């Protein structure tokens, strides 16, 4: 994720997805990246087609509800250059 944020151009979008139902591999990663990069990136809220994740604006698919593999996804946008 760090490499993706650094490589993205301003206005570029980064889709993070993982085939996992664990928050440690989904929401926790996004929270960490948002904290690390501050106002250089923002979360683009997603609405459907699955359930909202444990972090508002993210999505989760659950095997028992959606008849699919469990997964998580979040969409980020780079809004300014990363300062080091």
Contact 35, 26 (CB under 8 A): no
Mean pLDDT of 25-41: 95
Please identify, in words, the CATH class of the domain defined by 2-78. Answer: alpha beta
- Predicted pLDDT at 44: 98
Q: How far apart are CA 63 and CA 42, in angstroms?
A: 29
- Predicted pLDDT at 84: 63
- Predicted pLDDT at 82: 82
Mean pLDDT of 14-43: 96
Q: The pTM is what?
A: 0.91
Query: Is the Cα torsion angle 35, 39, 53, 62 positive or negative in sign?
Result: negative
- Predicted pLDDT at 38: 87
- Which pLDDT band holds residue 29 (cuts at 50, 70, 90)? very high
Provide the residue ranges of all domains of the chain, joining segments of one domain with +. Answer: 2-78
Mean pLDDT of 3-7: 93
């Amino acid at each position: 994720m760090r490499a993706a944020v650094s490589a993205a151009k301003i206005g570029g979008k980064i889709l993070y997805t993982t085939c996992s139902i664990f928050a440690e591999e989904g929401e926790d990663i996004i929270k960490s990246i948002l904290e690390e990069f501050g106002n250089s990136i923002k979360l683009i809220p997603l609405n459907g087609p699955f359930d909202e994740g444990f972090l508002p604006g993210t999505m989760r698919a659950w095997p028992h509800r959606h008849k699919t593999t469990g997964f998580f996804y979040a969409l980020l946008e780079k809004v300014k250059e990363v300062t080091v």
